[in-house]
Each structure stands twice: as C-alpha cells, then as structure tokens.
Amino acid sequence: MSVLLADLQVLPSPPGNAKHKWKHVDAAIKVIAASKLKHSVNALGTTIEGPASKVWSVCRRGSRKASLG
C-alpha cells in the first residue's frame, strides 16, 4: 500500500457570502472529515494522510465541493 501525504488549500474566489464568509472552505473540510482519513486542519490548508488512491479521491471531491460551496 502506497501512503500519501497531501495538503489541500482552498482559496475561495469569490468568497462565500456576508453571513458565511468561509462557506467554500468549510464545505471542503466536511468532505475530508467524512472520509475518516487522518487529517489536520492548518492555517493555510488541510493535510491529509492515507492510501494514495483514497487521498486523491478526497482531494478531488473536496475541491469540487469547495467550488460549488
């Protein structure tokens, strides 16, 4: 099994809305947390660790979810 460490950074543009400025960032973090992979939310991104195929899948889903808000 190949283990991968990845850091996903979401730069919301445009940002969420006046009521929830970080809506897109929070959407990506929810996807990552739901994956049950080991992760750490940091100031500039979220570090994800696990089997390479699962990490890549979570990064793609998190990125998609963030772009949709």
pLDDT value of residue 11: 81
pLDDT value of residue 17: 76
**Mean pLDDT, each 10-residue run in order, the chain (69 residues):** 90 76 87 97 95 96 81
Name the amino acid, one letter, at 26. D
Point out which residues pair with 46 in neighbouring strands. Answer: 8, 41
Return the CATH fold of 3-68: Alpha-Beta Plaits (3.30.70)
Strand-by-strand arrangement of the 45-51 sheet: 3-8, 45-51, 38-42
Tell me if 62 sits within 8 A of 31, measured CB to CB: yes
